[in-house]
């Protein structure tokens, strides 16, 4: 049998793809990474750009985050009600707002230094298959040149609309979200404490939440995430974000009359799903958002970048082991989703219950949201950080459940 061009080909060089490439190379694999962008990390597609646990990000990515990549240390996370009420937040010792493009490029450079071959401005046209329908490589276009590369395993790290998953019959997310953020300077007053502010309300964040996030001294990200079903011909993401900014002025939280927008960030995302769904097939694996953000152990929750990193690492390590063993079948590669499931440590019901009550808060009426934030705002903020991997539950769920029972909403 002819030796393939590469052992592993990774499609997508975001945080998950770069991490997968790095750990595949560290495990002795010949690795190719292709990405349709012209430069790693640009354009930025994540308006939040928060690492919920810096120490764990460093541990699992295998890279030390230099100070120049950090925009600010985040002091707390806090919910704000539709009327602007705030009832204290959850302090947050290990969260940072990161310079996203530097972070992604640093991960890619780390992979390149360890032997992965990265090619930008290269778009996936098709996943190659043999006569038995099994994956054997990729067909790409670089400039005006079409090329084919063979490999033992393809790893799809190409996001919520991933072509690898689609081409290989792996289900794509059916509930994507769209996000839009303006990075702004000249917003006043300045935050007294760097706070990840989460604002909820049917008019300002239909079906999810809006946010204000500190990026650096004098710069903040103001953004929204929502389901496309809330967008109509006369209701656009820009229109809802404009409405949110006016709301912030109406409640006298922030003012934008002297502010300037220095960047607009738009992208797609997805929610999490429990491990056990299809992440692999013969000779192919998907990670991160392309895998619907597999729900991991509590320290990782659903945060996009961190989930991409850890699934990228686990997929790469599994792929390298499978290639060394000479078995790249779906059965062999299933050790990767099994590891995702095992990370929950038997706590899937507890995590699912936390998610259930978090979503109940999001879908309350505005009147009830006001009351919830006034009475259990801090506990909701803790629940948010738990579900994004920064905290244990620390007793926050019983008061939330008790409140819903008191209101007759359980």
Domain boundaries defined on the chain: 6-42+102-174+271-342, 50-99+175-269
Bridge pairing between strands 280-281 and 76-80: unpaired
The CATH number that domain 6-42+102-174+271-342 falls under is 3.50.50.60
CA 301 to centroid of chain Cα atoms:
10
Count CB atoms within 10 A of the CB of residue 264. 15
Structure tokens at 401: 């459940």
DSSP-derived secondary structure for 30-66: -EEEE-SSSBTTBS---S--EES-HHHHHHHHT----
CATH class of 50-99+175-269: alpha beta
**Distance from C-alpha of 322 to C-alpha of 316, rounded to nearest angstrom:** 10
pTM: predicted TM-score of the whole model, two decimal places: 0.89
CA separation for the pair 133, 201 (Å, rounded): 48
- Give the pLDDT of the chain (410 residues) as one tens digit per residue: 689 999 999 999 999 999 999 999 999 999 999 999 999 988 877 666 777 778 888 888 999 999 899 888 888 889 999 999 988 888 877 788 888 889 999 999 999 999 999 999 999 999 999 999 999 999 999 999 999 999 999 999 998 788 999 999 888 766 677 788 999 999 988 877 888 999 999 889 887 889 999 887 778 999 998 777 766 666 788 999 999 999 999 999 999 999 999 989 887 665 555 544 688 999 999 998 887 765 554 343 445 778 889 899 999 999 999 999 999 999 999 999 888 878 766 677 777 788 889 889 988 999 999 999 999 998 998 888 877 665 566 678 899 999 999 999 97
């Amino acid at each position: 049998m002819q030796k393939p061009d590469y052992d592993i080909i990774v499609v997508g060089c975001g945080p998950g793809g770069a991490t997968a490439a790095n750990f595949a190379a560290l495990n002795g694999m010949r690795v190719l990474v292709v990405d349709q962008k012209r430069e790693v990390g640009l354009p930025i597609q994540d308006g939040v750009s928060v690492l919920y646990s810096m120490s764990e990000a460093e541990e699992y990515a295998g890279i030390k985050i230099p100070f120049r990549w950090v925009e600010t240390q985040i002091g707390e996370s806090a919910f704000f009600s539709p009327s602007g009420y705030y009832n204290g937040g959850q302090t947050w010792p290990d969260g940072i707002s990161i310079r996203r493009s530097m972070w992604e490029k640093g991960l890619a450079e780390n992979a390149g230094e360890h032997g992965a071959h990265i090619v930008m401005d290269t778009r996936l046209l098709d996943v190659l298959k043999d006569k038995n329908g099994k994956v054997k490589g990729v067909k790409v276009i670089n400039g005006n040149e079409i090329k084919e590369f063979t490999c033992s395993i393809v790893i799809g790290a190409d996001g919520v609309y991933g072509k690898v998953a689609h081409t290989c019959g792996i289900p794509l997310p059916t509930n994507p979200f769209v996000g839009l953020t303006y990075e702004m300077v000249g917003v006043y007053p300045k935050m007294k404490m760097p706070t990840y502010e989460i604002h909820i309300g049917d008019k300002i964040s239909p079906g999810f939440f809006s946010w204000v996030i500190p990026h650096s001294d004098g710069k903040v990200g103001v953004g929204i995430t929502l389901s496309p079903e809330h967008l109509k011909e006369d209701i656009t993401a820009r229109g809802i974000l404009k409405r949110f900014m006016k709301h912030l002025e109406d409640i006298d939280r922030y003012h934008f009359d002297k502010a300037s927008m220095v960047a607009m960030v738009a992208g797609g995302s997805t929610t999490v799903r429990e491990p056990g769904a299809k992440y692999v097939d013969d000779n192919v694996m998907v990670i991160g958002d392309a895998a619907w953000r597999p729900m991991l152990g509590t320290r990782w929750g659903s945060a996009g970048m961190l989930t991409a990193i850890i699934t990228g690492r686990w997929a790469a390590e599994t792929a390298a082991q499978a290639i060394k063993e000479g078995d790249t079948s779906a059965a062999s590669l299933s050790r990767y989703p099994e590891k995702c499931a095992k990370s929950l440590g038997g706590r899937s019901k507890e995590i699912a219950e936390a998610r259930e009550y978090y979503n109940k808060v999001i879908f309350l009426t505005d009147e009830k949201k006001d009351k919830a934030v006034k009475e259990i705002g801090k506990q909701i903020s803790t629940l948010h950080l738990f579900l994004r991997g920064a905290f244990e539950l620390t007793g926050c769920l019983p008061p939330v459940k008790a409140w819903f029972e008191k209101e007759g909403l359980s």
